[in-house]
Amino acid sequence: MNDGNSLDALLAEEQELQFPSFGTDVAWTLGSHIYQRAKAASLPIAIEVSRNGQQLFFAALAGATPDNAEWIRRKRAVVQRFHHSSLFMSVEAEVKGRPFLQRYGLSEQDYAAAGGGFPIYVKDTGCVGAVVVSGLPQLEDHRLVTESIRAIIAQSTL
């Protein structure tokens, strides 16, 4: 694990990546941004953006399978329950030396602590949703999501 994936670095990333507000237009812009990046690179992924449990954006690119939608559902469940990225929860379990599912008494059918799920934070509000990508190795899923959130936040503050 490199320093960019330490618990402190992952927490700092969550604190940094907060939207000024988050509605359906922002969800569409974020999902579309990820979609365009993935399409340009021919990435076989599925993407979901949700707010308060409501799916606002979903797309599956060429090469994605129905299994990717299942991974998205399970990663989203982790983000919604813990208000942390699914990668953070995976790394935390590794650092603490106890498997994630066992530590929290969770079902493998319902939860997946694998990179690619990230909380949607709104400044002065907290976690209001999740953006999740599935189809690449977990660190690449996570990076695609965080780089896209960073880009959309930068556009909104211009």
Which domain CATH number covers 53? 3.30.450.150
Of all helices (H) and strands (E), which one includes residue 54?
strand 54-60
Where does the pLDDT of residue 5 fall: very low under 50, low under 70, confident under 90, or very high at 90 and above?
Answer: confident
- Give SS3 for 69: helix
Report yes or no on whether pTM surpasses 0.85: yes
Strand partners, 121: 18, 127
Q: Cα–Cα distance between 29 and 65 in angstroms, integer?
A: 23
pLDDT digits (tens, 9 = 90+) for 101-134: 999 999 999 999 999 999 999 999 999 999 999 9
One-letter amino acid for residue 62 of the chain: A
Domain interval for residue 146:
3-156
Please give the C-alpha separations between residue 136 and each of 11, 20, 37, 38, 65, in angstroms, as whole numbers: 22, 29, 13, 11, 12
Across the range 17-42, mean pLDDT stands at 97
72 and 112 Cβ atoms separated by less than 8 Å: no
Q: How many domains does the chain have?
A: 1
10 and 88 Cβ atoms separated by less than 8 Å: yes
Residue 158 has pLDDT above 60, yes or no: no
Rounded to the nearest angstrom, the gap between the alpha carbon of residue 19 and the centroid of all alpha carbons in its chain is: 14
